[in-house]
A and B are shown apart, each in its own frame.
Chain A
Amino acid sequence: QVQLQESGPGLVKPSQTLSLTCTVSGGSISSGNHYWSWIRQPAGKGLEWIGRIYTSGSTNYNPSLKSRVTISVDTSKNHFSLNLSSVTAADTAVYYCASNYYGSGSYEFDYWGQGTLVTVSS
């Protein structure tokens, strides 16, 4: 059973960079049939897809965040990471990492981390 776990600071100052890591266990991040995504959810609101990475390093980002987002992967550590620069209070949210299974053709988010709350405040 694949498990994902987010880690990183829970408090980030405005204008700084938010950095999170998602560690994958119970399977290899290089298995070849998953993309690896970041999703966020402000308190009481809906879900926003931030972007995805394949183990080759190929990425796709949400245009709404593209200028500030970098997603990277370290296959030797079986983890992938999110950097979001120039944060403001609007970036305060629970951040989830998740895997996308493309074997079904539907790219559903089949495994999720538990989520980590990141608050942007001075």
Chain B
Amino acid sequence: DIQMTQSPSSLSASVGDRVSITCRASQSISRSLNWYQQKPGKAPQVLIYAASSLQNGVPSRFSGSGSGTDFTLTLNSLQPEDFATYYCQQSYSTPWTFGQGTKVEIK
């Protein structure tokens, strides 16, 4: 199985801040990396697919980058509705696997 490791596990930030979350794969996954946002009691929602493509309807303050083993999700100008948990997921090979999650909290 491909292991996905996110860092940090949690972070505190203020509205308007720029934050970055890193995801590292245990082997190269090309650009087969997706990012999700999950709010309490809700299903995850895809933000970014194929490492850097913005899902329809997702605000442009979200962006993704990377390839191979190292990937980054960047949130520019954090908004109140962005406080949530973020997961990366590799779709390079089954079993598809997720990172452990990064919780973004209000400072």
Q: List residues of A whose CB falls within 8 A of some B CB.
A: 37, 46-49, 52, 60-64, 96, 98, 100, 104-110, 112-115
Contacts and interface: CB of A to CB of B under 8 A. Distances in A.
Interface in B8-52: 31-34, 36, 42-46, 49-50
Contact of B43 (A60, A100, A104, A112): A112
Interface of B: 1, 31-34, 36, 42-46, 49-50, 53, 55, 87, 89, 91, 94-101
The 8 closest A-B pairs by CB, nearest first: A112-B43, A108-B49, A107-B91, A106-B50, A62-B95, A108-B34, A47-B98, A49-B96
B84 to A, nearest CB: 14
Given A46-B100, A46-B101, A63 B36 contact: no
A26 B99 CA distance: 31
B-side interface mostly:
loop
A74 to B, nearest CB: 23
Nearest to B94: A60
Contacts of B42: 114
Given A104-B53, A106-B91, A115-B43, A49 B98 contact: yes
A80 B36 CA distance: 23
Contacts of B46: 108-110
B98 A110 contact: no
Contacts of B44: 47, 109, 112
A114 B43 contact: yes
Contacts of A114: 42-43
